[in-house]
Structure 1
């Protein structure tokens, strides 16, 4: 498995994953249909929007429908001959801190038919190098208390549990775990 930059070459396989029901946003399952619509409307624009180091894109919609300013960031795709999943990095320039509406620096998801192969662990390890290149000295990653697979991925990359908390109401209000990975 390797991390690739989203491009036309990989787009058909990404579209196939979306059409099979996978969503790149675990807080907003409807994101899959939104992305399919965006790809159909302007595939090149969609791909360009996945790499936004200057936060020029539109505000981000939260699960309750409110919007918040976009942070600099980008997504990479996991590839083993076909699309396997997505991993993204976001940050605030000049600091490790994130706004309170942003749960973590890194988010990832594996398509169900590729789970259990170690791809998320490998992708997170690779993305930590990118985070260091963006000036971060640590990243925070959150997951639900019952997502043992994600906790295993985070711990395998040096993650240490720093707190248990409830997400803000606009993010669903459910319990969450916050891990920190020193870079």
Structure 2
């Protein structure tokens, strides 16, 4: 059964296959400002070796710590992978706070499902599993954004309790509660 977990090296092979799928659909170019795109540009030439992949996993996990080094303008973030056993299905990141840019464009939560695993409810399951984690991080409500024309992602956000606020710079913005229902 799929689950949302902290990044682990055991999914190395499947992770590489997923990144190849993302690259095949054009992800990773200089105009791809997503988490996956940025990481493909930064790490894809190093991921193949187990040692480099272990270092990547260590860096992802450390990014959740307030005092970890990160680029200027970036905030601490908890990265979680959605896996079924050793099979990597997707990723989700919870940004611990909003910068002005994240308030306009990126939000607290971003997610990606590998192309071969789409349209099976994984994005919804990831988001629903992540909301209590965001609450434990002290985030309530969360801002989640999607492109204006991304109907599938909008459906996921609405299933997660997202309430539409407005559209800015081509991004629809939704606020979703993270507090458990009483």
Aligned length: 162
Alignment of 1:134-145 (within 5 A): 134-145=137-148
Aligned pairs for 1:58-73 within 5 A: 58-59=70-71, 68-73=72-77
Q: Is 2:22–2:115's contact at 8 Å kept on the other side of the alignment?
A: no
Q: C-alpha root-mean-square deviation of aligned residues, in Å?
A: 2.1
Q: How does 1:9-158 map to 2 (within 5 A)?
A: 9-22=10-23, 23=27, 27-28=33-34, 29=37, 31-39=39-47, 40=49, 42-51=52-61, 52-55=63-66, 56-59=68-71, 68-81=72-85, 82-92=87-97, 98-102=98-102, 103-158=106-161
> C-alpha distance in 1, partners of 2:70/2:12?
22
* Structure-1-length-normalised TM-score: 0.80
Distance 1:182 1:110 in 2: 22
Normalising by structure 2, we get a TM-score of 0.81
Gap change, CA 1:131 and 1:24, over 3 Å in 2: farther
**Superposition deviation, residue 30 in structure 1:** 5.5
* Aligned residue number for residue 180 of structure 1: 175
TM superposition shift of 1:8? 1.2
The answer on whether the counterparts of 2:6 and 2:80 sit within 8 Å (CA) in structure 1 is: yes
- 8 Å Cα contact 2:93/2:110 also seen in 1: yes
Quick one: structure 1 residues 7 and 111, their matched pair in 2 at CA, closer, same or farther if it must change by over 3 Å? same
Unaligned runs of 5+ in 1: 60-67, 93-97, 167-174
Gaps of 5+ in 2: none
1:141 Cα deviation from its structure 2 partner = 0.6
